[in-house]
Amino acid sequence: MRSYILRRFISLVPVLFLLSLITFGLLCITPGDPAEMALSRSGVNPTREAVEAMKTELGLDKPLCLQYIHWFGKALHGNLGTSYRTGEPVTQEILYRLPATMELSLAAIIFIFIVAFPAGVLSAIYRDRLVDNASRIAALLGVSLPGFWLGLILIYLFSMKMEIFPVIGRGGLNHLILPAITLGSGMAAIYSRFIRAGMLEALSQDYIQAAYARGIRSWRVITRHALKNALLPIITLFGMSFGNLLGGAVIVETVFAWPGVGKLVVDSIFERDFPVIQGVVLFMGLIYILTNLLVDITYTWIDPRVRLKRDR
């Protein structure tokens, strides 16, 4: 197990290297001369001498690979530059907005599990019956609905017409419900089908027949024996879908004016605040990669079959 974790950590090195390359490369594709833009932002007339001086100051006269090493060294210390818009350090801006995004993602995950588990398990038990068909249609609709449109419809129905929930912004639990449903709906649909498939696979195994034969009550067989095994693929799926959740958050936060990292990146795009855009990509990439690492390790740790195979 320990050697597996070690190997997994080593395999992170190229991924993190490419992540840093992509993030650094993003700034190279931005149109316009950064030195000139820095000058005009501070209100200095961008004459040729001033631009040259600024280039030297920003290190832009050095070769790209040196610039990268310089940038990478600063990034390792958590220094991602300062926001053009607010003048605050980018890291601080992101850390300030991160709790809101985490809160929203966590609420969405809770929603996903509340919906997907009963739907998936019941569909598997009552395969090809009414419950299964209804949940299949609901799942197809769930993955086909654009998140932002679902959000708008929910706002229209529950905030404007029935006035049950507040329209936008962050606050108590009632602010959280609509955005969480919007963010989670697509994923809930996918999870419910995966749980169904995992349950069907598990229920067809010999050990389930054996459990029944031993006279264990069917509810216990389903929850303790089948569900436990059906859960394993879900852990992997969770790692894969976490990126979708972060991506979806960008749009959901825009719809609900939720003050998270997603809203920050969209606002920064329209303000041409490049360091913040770059910083968010690096941050989101890091979170995503670390989540997947955690998922892989958990998976190996939970399932002894995988653990033994990998240790060999």
Q: Is residue 29 close enough to count as binding other proteins by CB under 8 A?
A: yes
Torsion of CA 100, 101, 107, 108, to 10 degrees: 150
Question: Vertex 299, ends 296 and 302: CA angle to 5°?
Answer: 150
Q: Which of 27, 37, 60, 216 binds other proteins (CB under 8 A)?
A: 27
CA distance 129 to 51: 72
CA 86/CA 197 separation, integer angstroms: 50
Q: What length is written for the chain?
A: 312
Closest among 179, 185, 201 to 262, alpha carbons compared: 179
Choosing from 96, 126, 149, 212, the residue that interacts with other proteins (CB under 8 A) is 149
Q: How far is the CB of 163 from other proteins (least distance, A)?
A: 12
Select from 43-51, 52-60, 85-93, 140-148 the region that touches other proteins (CB under 8 A).
Answer: 140-148
The single residue among 75, 80, 121, 190 that binds other proteins, judged by CB under 8 A, is: 190
Phi, psi (rounded to 5 degrees) for 59: 80, 15
**Interaction with other proteins in 245-274: which residues (CB under 8 A)?**
246-248, 250-251, 254, 265-266, 268-270, 274
CB 300 within 8 A of CB 4: yes
What pairs with residue 89 in β-bridges? 82
3-state secondary structure 229-283: HHHHHHHHHHHHHHHHHHHHHHHHHHHHCCCCHHHHHHHHHHCCCHHHHHHHHHH
Residue 30 near other proteins by CB under 8 A: yes
Q: Residues with Cβ < 8 Å from 112, sequence gap 6 or more?
A: 184, 187, 188, 191
d(CA 209, CA 232): 20
CB of 225 to other proteins, least distance (A): 20
Contact flag: residue 196 with other proteins (CB under 8 A): yes
Kindly state the smallest distance separating residue 53's Cβ from other proteins, in Å: 25
Task: Annotate each residue in 206-245 with x if it binds other proteins (CB under 8 A) or - if it does not, as one string.
Answer: ----------------------------------xxxxx-
To other proteins, the closest distance from the beta carbon of 215 in angstroms equals 29
Residue 211 near residue 225, CB atoms below 8 Å: yes
Can you tell me which of 109, 119, 176, 189 binds other proteins, judged by CB under 8 A?
A: 189
Shortest separation between residue 220's beta carbon and other proteins, angstroms: 25
Residue 40 or 47 having the CB closest to other proteins:
40
Binding site for other proteins (CB under 8 A): 14-15, 18-19, 22, 26-27, 29-31, 139-141, 143-149, 152-153, 155-156, 160, 186, 189-190, 193-194, 196-197, 200-201, 240-244, 246-248, 250-251, 254, 265-266, 268-270, 274, 277-278, 280-281, 284-285, 288-289, 292
